[in-house]
Amino acid sequence: MKKFRYFFLFLATVALLPAWGCESGLEPPPPEPEPVGAIQGTVTYSGNWPPGSQLRQLFFVPLDFKPSTLLEILTEFNQGNLKASEPLSLNVDSDTFFVGDLDNGTYVYNIIANQFGPNLFTDWRPVGVYEENGGIIEILGDTVQISIHVDFSNFPPFPPE
């Protein structure tokens, strides 16, 4: 009978150990983020809009690298590695944009790109750069909201500093 009592005490102790050592019991791991996210934003404009011959199209373009040449951007675009918004409205005070299906990651150079001439492959320049949060956008399976300002009297330098 004494052995049974010790065995019962042993089982009771083993059964109560998890309650003493853990406050919440077993929990599933946190869910993995979705593999893609999006950037949604607003662009505002100031200064005089360029003439139509220098303002063919405007797009928001998120980049996961800081380019040193326009050729780097064009190469990535031609290889299908870049995504851009739909064309932005011209000659307005502000507009909104959306880029979806972006891979999770860090986007370090996020611009409003302007096609300023007739050549679709070479006539591009940044006219606005996202500057909040050090210019960095982190996508983790979510939709990030941003704002960008374009000053047509003061274009950002390219390549970026």
Average pLDDT of the residues in 145-160: 96
Give the amino acid at 95: D
What are the chain's domains? 36-151 (2.60.40)
The mean of the pLDDT values for the chain is 88
- Whole-model pTM: value is 0.79
Express each pLDDT in 129-142 by its tens digit: 999 999 999 999 99
